[in-house]
Amino acid sequence: MTGVGSDSAPAGSLRTALVQQLVAAGTIRDERVAAAFAAVPRHVFVPHAPLEIAYADDVVLMKHDQAGVVISSVSQPSIVALMLQQAAIRPGDRVLEIGSGGYNAALMRELAGPRGAVTSVDIDPEVTDRARESLDEAGYGDVVVVQADGAFGVPERAPYDRIVVTVTAWDIAGAWLRQLRPGGRIVVPLRMRGQTRAIAFDLVGDHLESRSATVCGFVSMQGAGADYERLVPLQDGGLAFDEDQEGEPHPQYDVLTLPAEQKWSGIQVHREEPLLDLFLWLASKLPGYCVLSGREWAAVATADSLAYLTSRNGKDGVHIELGCRGHGPDAGELIDHMLDQVQSWDAKHRRGPAFQVHASDAVLPPGFHIARRHSYITVTWAE
């Protein structure tokens, strides 16, 4: 099956160029994913966009809410490719996509083939109407599009070999676990402690075990699974805490106006090195962890003090040295604790985190636990 509806030679050349670009960048490594990208006419799913925009490696924004926040988009090709590779959809698989747009569902249909089945669910009827129309136009009439809250899955089409969530989730809904086949895989952009990773989990017995993770950004889930980060305002942004950190103390006044103390770690990291693994390590180890919003850097708070990670130029212009800056009476202690953990991460834990998800806290493996409404996330670190 190939999506040939409304295709044209200029669209075809731009599509070939996009695939070549994603292969050259090392983003597409799987030949079947490359073939799917070469087959699906992306421009049909973003009818208002000029061809050059449709085939750029960029998100195409489709809808904003009244506050101007993006609530629907057709995702960036590179993140779509990375998540499809994480999902490893096989011919014959039954696949559920949560968050529609049509484009990704068509790619999934290419991968699952005629013996497979693809269902895509979106909470927004405007999105499902558009996805239905575009899928028909592009020749993917057998993809089933459902308008519903994806937090409940689509039970009438279950079980699924693969579930791919394309909207930021704070939790693993019970329905997703129940609708996944034993040994099945779910790929979900999971947000914790202010950072989002698309994590591929396999269902092993009664729980999920991570197989890979990619840092990403998606629009936020609406409906029953919607959540929020609590923002404690400061002069320069604020401190963001997760819902499960409700009881954690934080300064009741703008501590950033107090004199600052600062110390340097001696640890240099490449300027381009993503530090989100370090931030999650700090979140695992430091009570009062929060995110200094505006700068999106790791911080730790008490009832009257705050310390946060900072950096300065390293010796060679390519590296930066990590340090910590603090304000308030506990600043010195908070700085020392944070820098101890930076040293520990640098010495032993740079291989990154692994994740497990359990539906109950009856038996949790050792690690850092994050309690969500319907699941418990455990973060562990290989030495």
Ligand X SMILES: C[S@@+](CC[C@H](N)C(=O)[O-])C[C@H]1O[C@@H](n2cnc3c(N)ncnc32)[C@H](O)[C@@H]1O
Sites of contact with ligand X (CB under 6 A): 71-75, 97-104, 121-124, 127, 149-151, 166-167, 218-219, 221-223, 225
166 or 179: CB nearest ligand X? 166
Residue nearest to ligand X (CB): 101
Least Å distance, CB 213 to ligand X, is 18
Least Å distance, CB 75 to ligand X, is 4
124 or 277: CB nearest ligand X? 124
Nearest to 13 by CA among 23, 21, 5: 21
Nearest to 6 by CA among 102, 127, 124: 102
146 or 359: CB nearest ligand X? 146
Least Å distance, CB 260 to ligand X, is 39
CA 119, CA 144: separation in Å to the nearest integer? 5
Measure Cα distances from 68 to 100, 196, 279, 347 in Å: 20, 21, 29, 43
Least Å distance, CB 104 to ligand X, is 3
Amino acid found at 202:
D
- Token code pair at residue 326: 């603090």
Least Å distance, CB 160 to ligand X, is 15
151 or 309: CB nearest ligand X? 151
DSSP state of 257: G
- Choose, from 75, 134, 210, 284, the residue flagged as catalytic: 75
CA 107, CA 39: separation in Å to the nearest integer? 8
73 or 375: CB nearest ligand X? 73
DSSP H or E run through 133:
helix 125-138
Least Å distance, CB 216 to ligand X, is 10
Judge whether 100 counts as a catalytic residue: no
Measure Cα distances from 229 to 76, 193, 256, 294 in Å: 25, 9, 21, 14
Q: Which residues pair with 28 in a beta bridge?
A: none
- Asked if the bond preceding 233 is cis, omega within 30° of 0, the reply is no
Q: What's the farthest any 2 CA atoms get from each other in the chain?
A: 67
Beta strands in 177-305 (DSSP E): 180-192, 195-204, 207-215, 230-233, 238-241, 260-270, 289-293, 297-301
**136: CB partners within 8 A, 6+ apart:** 5
CA 160, CA 93: separation in Å to the nearest integer? 8
110 or 124: CB nearest ligand X? 124
**DSSP assignment string, 5-66:** TT--HHHHHHHHHHHHHHHHTTS---HHHHHHHHHS-GGGGSTTS-HHHHTSSS-EEEEE-T
81 or 213: CB nearest ligand X? 81
DSSP H or E run through 326:
strand 319-327
Least Å distance, CB 172 to ligand X, is 13
Please list the active-site residues. 75
